[in-house]
Amino acid sequence: MKKFLLSSLLLLIMAGCSNVKKSPALKEGDPAFKTGKIIAEKISFFDPADNRILVKSSKFVINSGDVCRAVHSAMGEDIDRLREISIGETRKVLNDFTQSLTERELFDLAANEEKIIVEQTYLDSILNIYYQTAGSKDRYLQQLVKQEKDSTEFFIEIEELLKRQKYLQQLAINIPVTTEDEMKSVYEEMLSDVQADVRHILLMTKGKSKSEKSTIHKKMRGLLRRAKNGEDFSKLADQYSEDPGSNSNGGLYRNIKKGAMVKPFEDAAFSVPVGRISDIVETEFGLHILKIIDRTARLQPFEDIRIQIGQQILMNKQQELYQQKVMELKIANKVTITAF
């Protein structure tokens, strides 16, 4: 079964927060109250004493206190780090949490409407994973008590999480199979991002007679031989190259992209191994020899990475479907989010 891609932030919030429809306002002594106070130092909307409505829909409400709880659950004792970032960065963090809580509620509703059921054996197997982190079920439940978390609510949260995941997995079943053409298209895009640094020597032949071209070709063969025998390529370029754009800097061209040079030059720049010198390359401008200095984003052959490309395409399709479904659910449930 295809596994639907969820961000680690979303998973953390979905797994670790109490149900927003039941959560009361934060009070002094609540572990998340301090979190709310720290956030309110920069954005007063989140003052825990106010517990303002942040998200409204036809079926649920999310308050500022719910976001404070989510941030506290994710950051814990590291909450003071929020003091070290800008207001803009803080606002982005809070917006991410708000969106994730909203999406969690929407997918809860959707999973219930679809009557998604989690088998008890699977639920037990997941709960056992949690128990193992503490050594036993009893020890894990004791940890919940110390964290002032209700064990019954914990069991409900895990079941709801698994329902959401199952709902998303069922959505993913409808994603079209990735075709060979799609993978090759992506590979071509990856190739277009490759850049090359080269040094080159140009001897111009444009407008020259046949005998002149022959003499020029002989001269270039001599330069090629000298370069391959170990002479300093940049010095040869400075002395002999007739390219006005590079003959004063050792024939160097940096960050050449595909499509930026004439085809024969480009073919050599992107096919000759790094550190090697090309044979003589003829273009409409004349004769060239190239030394490949560097090439970024070096790619393996298509067949060697086709599986990874297919996986990336699938993840992109999953994310696109996910965002599309979120938008549909927001409209259907008349979701509005208050700016802060």
- CB contact set of 3 (below 8 Å; sequence gap of 6+): 169, 172
- Residues 82-133 pLDDT 10s: 898 999 999 999 999 999 999 999 999 999 999 999 999 999 999 999 999 9
Characterise 286 by phi-psi region: left (phi > 0), alpha (psi -120 to 50), beta (else).
left
Of 5, 19, 333, 286, the closest CA to residue 161 belongs to 19
**Fold assignment, 194-295:** Chitinase A; domain 3 (3.10.50)
CA distance 71 to 51: 15
Q: What is the pLDDT of residues 198-237, one digit of tens each?
A: 999 999 998 899 999 999 999 999 999 999 999 999 999 9
- What is the spatial order of strands in the sheet that 53-56 belongs to? 61-63, 53-56, 336-337
Instruction: Record the tokens describing residue 276, joined without a space.
Output: 């090697």
CATH code matching the domain that covers 8-176+315-337, chosen among 1.10.4030.10, 3.20.20.70, 1.10.287.3510, 3.40.50.1100:
1.10.4030.10
Write the pLDDT tens digit of every residue in 282-292.
999 999 999 99
Domain(s) of CATH 3.10.50.40: residues in the chain = 194-295
Q: Which pLDDT band holds residue 245 (cuts at 50, 70, 90)?
A: confident
**pLDDT value, residue 298:** 61
Q: CATH 1.10.4030.10 spans which residues of the chain?
A: 8-176+315-337
Beta carbons of 106 and 333 less than 8 angstroms apart: yes
Percent of the chain residues topping a pLDDT of 90: 72
